[in-house]
Structure 1
């Protein structure tokens, strides 16, 4: 009786993936029982592809928010990055730690208990005599042993109020249980707005007032170049050793000058819960602002970077007032301008130029005489030659009203007359257009 032979088993894998179609790994399948070798080889190929995808470089690139972050880190101030999910906050911290060669320790605040930050009680041999010490968590011990590092507190806005309360001592005093973080450890946190956070909470005012708040947004060009393999490099600012005393003096003069003129800004707790969870002015945050102004000045940071830092520490309103006050600190003395109007150098920015001209007219009003009045007109004529004539309308009108009967009209007024008349007509025309549009 004929014996039927079983049909040969067919390879269920697609033809393109069979070993015979891949000469580079076909030899691994010669011994059919050891299929694990084949799977391992495929994982090796997958790992090589992942390595190629992760092979990126960096380039120097002007990035105000990244420069503000590195300045705050250099100043040893806790920073809180606010941004929507997926915006790149965590990636920025990873890149910063790698560039600065600091070990990164990430702690998800929302998945920890308050005792994880205040310390766990450990009973000893004689608690009545020795007390109950508070043991720190393992990540804190590793940071202390390393002596340096970047502590990243992620998902801060999803931490419940009890955990936020436990973080107060860590953020301000840098203490966890019985341990104190060494000076080489910097603290950076990240949070999503409550509207986009999972079970989000508003930050408590005491915790919020301990941070420099930076709004983290994406730059289209940075994202495109980064996906192409080139990301901006994060470098610590270079502080000019010779500029340190002057930077400290300027920072103190700027902050103290503003608070002397505006004492109500020393402490202003916002009225809404959302604003209390952000930047607002207090003696603590003004002290942080003073430090940031000194660091930014010594580093030669741009006005945009300094604005991000001060507004992220004391809030938009007080921060903008401080920036405006600092701009006026560098304005020339009206008396120096009146003494030499021909050699005067006026600011390029329109608002600063307007402030200088108004100051000159005010100086003439306070001490009017013929020579100072003539010098002011000469200065206005120079301003018209180097800037927009519409800035001269108000100071020229005010200066003309100060003329005494026995003062002759200087030649500079005749040079100014056509431009001022044209500017007035333009203002009248603009007012008419606005009036018609409002009907």
Structure 2
């Protein structure tokens, strides 16, 4: 018997050595997206195959945020565990029947803060999912309201890889920011070697908060004003309804995330994961494109300084700037503005792919008036488009069309 005890002590030391790992701060978009959503006080739902480290990530997240972790396996609970159990008092006719909360909720309220992890959400039956609605949205469990210091994160396995899984109900799914949780081969190898990644807390710049709120509101309202059908679009399939989709609630969540991401200066990859995980891939990509265009320079500012104005590096954004400048010239055609636009096109052709100037140059050539001389900037583009000939030809076609009465 003493020998067995000593062996258990040795085994305990071995287990301690195996658990002795370190962490390193390194860029990780999915960890950063999770951290930002949690800091923004929005419920997050992690989707991923079994065994890829969702639960371990929660333990690390709680440590990084200095929050006590409370894990609740949703699939093994009854609806009354979230709605509360009725407790009959001395005079229920006068005092009513209060709903007693479970012990984990009481502990969270007493602590005043914590990370509530709802695991195995996709294996919870519909009745339990319905009971979770109030917890996720209103932070209420029975008669208790969870304090503001509590954050909620859930995890689910796709139906194809979960035992006895249910599709998530549309009302519950629409209350979460959905993030796809994957693993990287290099991270796993390095982690098994004793070093796991750690995400740093988003650093919100106090001076940028008003600007971040204004930017987020303008981004969302501009898109929805132009695309009213995106305000609420309930998916037709049951599977899609269990994921992110656009509704006034989810757009409000997206607005909050854009404000937080702007104030923290997060990367586009992180913002993309958050936005698409809130309103869905299609609307999310439209919103991201709208955000990109909001950062484009004003065409009038570019025409005022065509040689010094900053041009975007991305080809699609550079094309948008060139098209915007040509459209501005079309709306107010003046010789100086027309020549300034040619200077910009020549500069764009020298600094980037020349094919980006084909469409705006053709349009600009057609705007030439007979008394306007061909500017020297066109000669610099002759090798690309032979624009001098195109400009003269466009004027001739316009004159011929006017003469024929068309």
Sort the TM-score into its range (normalised by shorter chain). Answer: over 0.9
Does the 8 Å CA contact 1:107/1:153 hold for their aligned counterparts? yes
Alignment of 1:71-150 (within 5 A): 71-150=36-115
More displaced, 350-359 or 93-102? 93-102
User: How far did 1:388 drift?
Assistant: 1.2
1:230 to 183, 195, 201: 195
More displaced, 228-237 or 304-313? 228-237
1:284: which partner in 2?
Answer: 249
Does the 8 Å CA contact 2:174/2:249 hold for their aligned counterparts? yes
Structure 2 residue 275 is the aligned partner of structure 1 residue 306: no
- What RMSD, in angstroms, separates the aligned Cα atoms of the two structures? 1.1
Structure 2 residue 30 is the aligned partner of structure 1 residue 65: yes
Structure 2 residue 301 is the aligned partner of structure 1 residue 347: no
**Runs of 4 or more above 4 Å deviation:** none
Instruction: Give the Cα separation in 2 of the matches to 1:52 and 1:418.
Output: 69
2:372 to 385, 407, 411: 407
Does the 8 Å CA contact 1:95/1:234 hold for their aligned counterparts? no
Does the 8 Å CA contact 2:28/2:199 hold for their aligned counterparts? no
Q: Secondary structure at the residue paired with 2:196? A: strand
User: How far did 1:222 drift?
Assistant: 1.0
User: How far did 1:231 drift?
Assistant: 0.8
Bigger-Rg structure (1/2): 1
Structure 2 residue 206 is the aligned partner of structure 1 residue 241: yes
1:384 to 323, 344, 349: 349
User: How far did 1:345 drift?
Assistant: 1.3
User: How far did 1:158 drift?
Assistant: 0.3
1:173 to 110, 116, 138: 138
2:2 to 23, 34, 37: 37
User: How far did 1:406 drift?
Assistant: 1.8
User: How far did 1:421 drift?
Assistant: 6.0
User: How far did 1:323 drift?
Assistant: 0.6
More displaced, 96-105 or 168-177? 96-105
Alignment of 1:130-209 (within 5 A): 130-209=95-174
Instruction: Give the Cα separation in 1 of the matches to 2:133 and 2:382.
Output: 64
Instruction: Give the Cα separation in 1 of the matches to 2:7 and 2:206.
Output: 55
Using structure 2 for the length normalisation, give the TM-score.
Answer: 0.94
Does the 8 Å CA contact 2:48/2:157 hold for their aligned counterparts? yes
Alignment of 1:352-371 (within 5 A): 352-371=317-336
Q: Deviations over 1:288-341 (max 9, x none)?
A: 111100101111100110010000000001111111101111111111111111
Gaps of at least 5 residues in structure 2 are 388-406
2:226: which partner in 1?
Answer: 261
Does the 8 Å CA contact 2:27/2:199 hold for their aligned counterparts? no
Does the 8 Å CA contact 1:79/1:187 hold for their aligned counterparts? yes
Instruction: Give the Cα separation in 2 of the matches to 1:256 and 1:127.
Output: 49
User: How far did 1:132 drift?
Assistant: 0.6
Gaps of at least 5 residues in structure 1 are 1-35, 423-439
Instruction: Give the Cα separation in 2 of the matches to 1:366 and 1:88.
Output: 57
Does the 8 Å CA contact 1:392/1:420 hold for their aligned counterparts? no
Q: Deviations over 1:108-128 (max 9, x none)?
A: 101000000000001111111
Does the 8 Å CA contact 1:168/1:206 hold for their aligned counterparts? yes
Q: Secondary structure at the residue paired with 1:285? A: helix
Q: Secondary structure at the residue paired with 1:67? A: helix
Does the 8 Å CA contact 2:129/2:169 hold for their aligned counterparts? yes
Structure 2 residue 379 is the aligned partner of structure 1 residue 417: no
1:24: which partner in 2?
Answer: none
Q: How many residues are aligned here?
A: 387
Q: Deviations over 1:32-74 (max 9, x none)?
A: xxxx111011011111111111111111110000000000000
Structure 2 residue 14 is the aligned partner of structure 1 residue 49: yes
Instruction: Give the Cα separation in 1 of the matches to 2:64 and 2:362.
Output: 58
Instruction: Give the Cα separation in 1 of the matches to 2:181 and 2:209.
Output: 29
Instruction: Give the Cα separation in 2 of the matches to 1:406 and 1:76.
Output: 63
Structure 2 residue 362 is the aligned partner of structure 1 residue 397: yes
Structure 2 residue 278 is the aligned partner of structure 1 residue 329: no
Q: Secondary structure at the residue paired with 2:380? A: helix
Q: Deviations over 1:196-229 (max 9, x none)?
A: 1100000000000000000001111111111111
Instruction: Give the Cα separation in 2 of the matches to 1:109 and 1:71.
Output: 24
Does the 8 Å CA contact 1:100/1:235 hold for their aligned counterparts? no
